[in-house]
Amino acid sequence: MTETASTGQGGGDVRLTGISKKYGSFQAVQPLDLTVQQGSFFALLGASGCGKTTTLRMIAGLEEPTTGTVLLGDRDVTGLPPYKRPVNTVFQSYALFPHLDIYENVAFGLRRRGIKSVKKQVGEMLDLVQLGDYARRKPQQLSGGQQQRVAVARALINRPQVLLLDEPLGALDLKLRRQMQLELKRIQTEVGVTFIHVTHDQEEAMTMADSIAVMSAGRVEQLGTPGDLYENPGTTFVANFLGTSNLIETEVVGRDGDAITVSGSGGCKLTLPAARCSAPTGNGRKVLVGVRPEKMAISHADDAGTIPEGRNRVPGRIAGTSFIGVSTQYVVDSAVCPRLEVYAQNIERDGRLAPGADVVLHWNPQHTFGLGADQDIAAGEEAAS
């Protein structure tokens, strides 16, 4: 029973309070509070150097926090070395022991805790990751995807309270990465352990995680479910880093109940729901109005009359198009904002929509969000690419 005791069936959430890390004068992680619910799949998302890996390593015990505490359930583990924490890690590039075979790699943690009969558990674990036939191979004889699964098995067999994954799919090619995303999700659902997953790939985070913390420059920018973050980005960084956003500089000119009216350069009037604006909305306030490229529709200027009333409209001219199969991407220059991006489904393609054509972009005002204009409008664009 000892082995299950350390795995904490009573468990609980992972709570970071005021945790920060400083290397010399470089503040890698600003003091942050974070709670990860037991059994959830949590992603720390951000560009390289944003402090996400450092945060993960502080939970693992591989890095000592400068300030703050790490709690697993009610237990303070801040001062514990990694080998005394009921937490296991899947390392970037896996860190499989090259001198041990797959079986011994997976059995490593059990053996270190003095468990003698490991055969059954190791067998089950290898079956879970579908590598039962590879037990006696050396890590370097396995493909990248197989090594990745061994790394997961080696960590999971210890039934940790929390499994930490540090860019676990970074070394795989795109197709395999997609496959492994589903695989990891399946394993997580099957074993029900809390997963904390560090990644720089926003698509990966959105596919897999129940909730995501977007990090930038050692700070958590925003925390929420994937859908919430995507639909209601709280900062320009999140708006640009998660997917693509068209951000338009405007000024508030009026308010009608729940709807705010703003005016962009050229006098173009747009409306957005007050509830979706995170910035102050008094008259004369500057606001960045955002809309996702796939929410916009594009019509040729000749058809402007057929656009239903009540939709936000922006006139412009097509600067470029690129055909990508399921959709076509248009780049539209407008007086309101240069370089607006629009994705149109390829249902009925309008032959007139070629570079140089005058068009009207229109969308449901409900799909518009507002951000404070005091931020860098391009924040997160570099990081996302």
Partner 1 sequence: MTATTAPPDAPPVTGGEPPRRRAFRRGRLVPYWLLLPGILWLIVFFLVPLVYQASTSVQTGSLENGFQVTWHFQTYWDALQQYYPQFLRSLLYAAVATLLCLVVGYPLAYLIAFRAGRHRNLLLVLVIAPFFTSFLIRTLAWKTILADGGPVVGFLSSAHILDITAALGWTSGHRVLATPLAVVTGLTYNFLPFMILPLYTSLERIDHRLHEAAGDLYATPWTTFRKVTFPMSLPGVVSGTLLTFIPSSGDYVNAQLLGSADTKMIGSVIQSQFLTVLDYPTAAALSFILMAVVLFVVTFYIRRAGTEELL
Partner 2 sequence: MAASRWIRRHLVVIAGLVTLAYMILPNVVVMVFSFNKPTGRFNYSWNHFSLDAWKSPCGAAGLCGSLGLSLQIAVYATIAATILGTMIAFALVRYRFHGRGPVNSLIFLPMAMPEVVMAASLLTLFLNLGAQLGFWTILIAHIMFCLSFVVVAVKARVLSMDPRLEEAARDLYAGPVQTFVRVTLPIAAPGIVAGALLSFALSFDDFIITNFNAGSTVTFPMFVWGSAQRGTPVQINVVGTAMFLIAVLIVVVGQAVSSRRGKSAATS
Contacting positions for partner 1 (CB under 8 A)? 1-2, 5-6, 8, 10, 64, 69, 75-81, 84, 86, 113
Which tokens go with 95?
């860190």
Which tokens go with 268?
């173009």
Residue 154 CB, nearest distance to partner 2 (Å)?
7
Rounded CA gap, 18 and 214, in Å? 17
Residue 9 CB, nearest distance to partner 1 (Å)?
9
Report the greatest alpha carbon distance in the chain.
79
**Interaction partner, residue 64 (partner 2, partner 1, none; CB < 5-8 Å by kind):** partner 1
Q: Smallest Cα–Cα separation from 264: which of 290, 282, 238, 296?
A: 290
108 lies in the binding site for partner 2 (CB under 8 A): yes
**CB-wise, 59 or 336, nearer to partner 2?**
59
Interface positions, 155-194, toward partner 2 (CB under 8 A):
155, 158
**Interaction partner, residue 76 (partner 2, partner 1, none; CB < 5-8 Å by kind):** partner 1
Is residue 306 classed exposed, middle or buried when 0-12, 13-18 and 19+ CB atoms within 10 A define those classes?
A: exposed
**CB-wise, 50 or 72, nearer to partner 1?**
72
93 lies in the binding site for partner 2 (CB under 8 A): yes
Residue 38 CB, nearest distance to partner 1 (Å)?
15
Element (H, E) at 176: helix 174-191
**Interaction partner, residue 10 (partner 2, partner 1, none; CB < 5-8 Å by kind):** partner 1
Give the count of residues interacting with partner 2 (CB under 8 A).
Answer: 30
CA–CA–CA angle 381, 90, 74 (5° rounding): 95
Residue 259 CB, nearest distance to partner 1 (Å)?
52
**Interaction partner, residue 92 (partner 1, partner 2, none; CB < 5-8 Å by kind):** partner 2
138 lies in the binding site for partner 2 (CB under 8 A): yes
- Candidate segments 150-158, 190-198, 322-330, 336-344, binder of partner 2 by CB under 8 A: 150-158
DSSP count for the chain of H helices, then E strands: 10, 20
35, 141, 283, 345: which one binds partner 2 (CB under 8 A)? 141
23, 79, 112, 323: which one binds partner 2 (CB under 8 A)? 112
Residue 113 CB, nearest distance to partner 2 (Å)?
5
Rounded CA gap, 214 and 225, in Å? 11
**Interaction partner, residue 77 (partner 2, partner 1, none; CB < 5-8 Å by kind):** partner 1
Q: Smallest Cα–Cα separation from 20: which of 63, 71, 62?
A: 63
Residue 316 CB, nearest distance to partner 1 (Å)?
46
Residue 334 CB, nearest distance to partner 1 (Å)?
47
Q: Smallest Cα–Cα separation from 224: which of 239, 211, 240?
A: 211
54, 89, 161, 235: which one binds partner 2 (CB under 8 A)? 89
Range 19-23 contact pairs with CB under 8 angstroms and sequence separation of 24 or more:
19/55, 19/58, 19/65, 19/67, 19/68, 19/69, 19/70, 20/65, 20/66, 20/67, 20/68, 20/218, 21/51, 21/54, 21/55, 21/58, 21/63, 21/65, 21/66, 22/66
